[in-house]
Amino acid sequence: MGVIDPKGTVEDVPSLFHDGAVDYVDGAAWKAGIAPRRLTRAAAFARVLKRYPESAGQEALPARPCRPSGADWSRLREGEEYTFSLLFIELDGAEGLELRFGAANLTEALASFRAYVERSAAPFGGRTWIWSRFGGIVLFPFDGRREHAAPCGLSMTLYKYLYDIEESRFPHFVSWRMAAHLGEVAWRERATGTLVSETLNSVFHLGQQFAPAGSFHVTDEIRTLAGSQMRTFFVPAGQYEGRRIWRMRRPLSP
């Protein structure tokens, strides 16, 4: 549903999105007129919330209410479920790194990698939420309109070679894979690997079982919420676990 509020009587606008609204029009926007582009965006967002199946050959995913986590972390309550965007990232060939470099050298190198991930996510409001030695999950707040996992992943890919040359403590260029998904998880300030969530399972499966080395894949929910310019960076990559998947175009190597 969309809410038109020309007199400004709604006091808690975010709660509208918690209850399933896809747009809110205040008095100023109502007087200015509603452009077709805005209606198109609202319709696209509604499709994301309902999670329509992408083809008749796939089993339909159940519709779920969307409760955006908000523009930042300030209103989250421990243990309650919200919609976030999630970015999975993991170094490729992790099982052989320690054998090649030794535990002491690898510890310093892994620290430089995590620092790069955290610094890259910060401008997009993201924070490392679950982390093992070789990677983990970066969580981004979702306000019901914009998601930030895709632009963060794109930025990390484009600046990867600068990391390899200027910051990395690995003795050679490294490779990592990423996957992004939008979904519901129960909020924990300090998450652990023991959290049970369909959304977490989905993004881990996409990153570990579907995405090849060095790639960045996103679900249709993520791509739909990307801007028109951002969407041009992604090409179809098939279906996985009932969802359409998109792969980021590979940037040219230096």
Give the residue extent of every domain in the chain.
2-50, 81-248
The pLDDT of residue 229 is 83
Q: What is the pLDDT of residue 49?
A: 44
The CATH number that domain 81-248 falls under is: 3.30.70.1230
**pTM value?**
0.72
The predicted structure's pLDDT at residue 254: 45
In the block, tokens 């895709």 appear at 150
Residue 48: per-residue pLDDT: 42
Amino acid 221: pLDDT: 92
Place of tokens 């999630």: 86
The pLDDT value given to residue 139 = 96
**Which pLDDT belongs to residue 252?**
58
Q: Over its length of 254 residues, how does the chain's per-residue pLDDT go in tens digits? A: 566 867 777 655 444 444 555 565 666 666 777 766 556 555 544 544 444 333 333 333 444 557 898 888 988 999 899 999 999 999 998 878 878 877 778 888 999 999 999 999 999 999 999 998 899 999 999 998 889 999 999 999 988 888 888 888 888 888 999 999 999 999 987 765 556 688 999 999 999 999 999 999 999 999 999 878 888 899 999 999 999 999 999 765 54
- pLDDT for 58 equals 37
Three-state SS annotation for the chain: CEEEECCCCCCCHHHHHHCCCCEEEEHHHHHHCCCHHHHHHHHHHHHHHHCCCCCCCCCCCCCCCCCECCCCCCCCCCCCEEEEEEEEEEECCHHHHHHHHCHHHHHHHHHHHHHHHHHHHHHHCCEEEEECCCEEEEEEECCCCCCCHHHHHHHHHHCHHHHHHHHCCCCCCCCEEEEEEEEEEECCCCCCCCCCCHHHHHHHHHHHHHCCCCCEEEEHHHHHHCCHHHHCCEEEEEEECCEEEEEECCCCCC
Count the Cβ atoms, other than its own, within 10 Å of residue 104: 7
For residue 9, is it left (φ>0), alpha (ψ between -120 and 50) or beta? alpha
Which pLDDT score, from 0 to 100, does residue 239 have? Answer: 95
Residue 83 gets the label, from left (phi > 0), alpha (psi -120 to 50) or beta, of beta
Pairing status of strand 2-5 against strand 127-131: unpaired
Contact 225, 143 (CB under 8 A): no
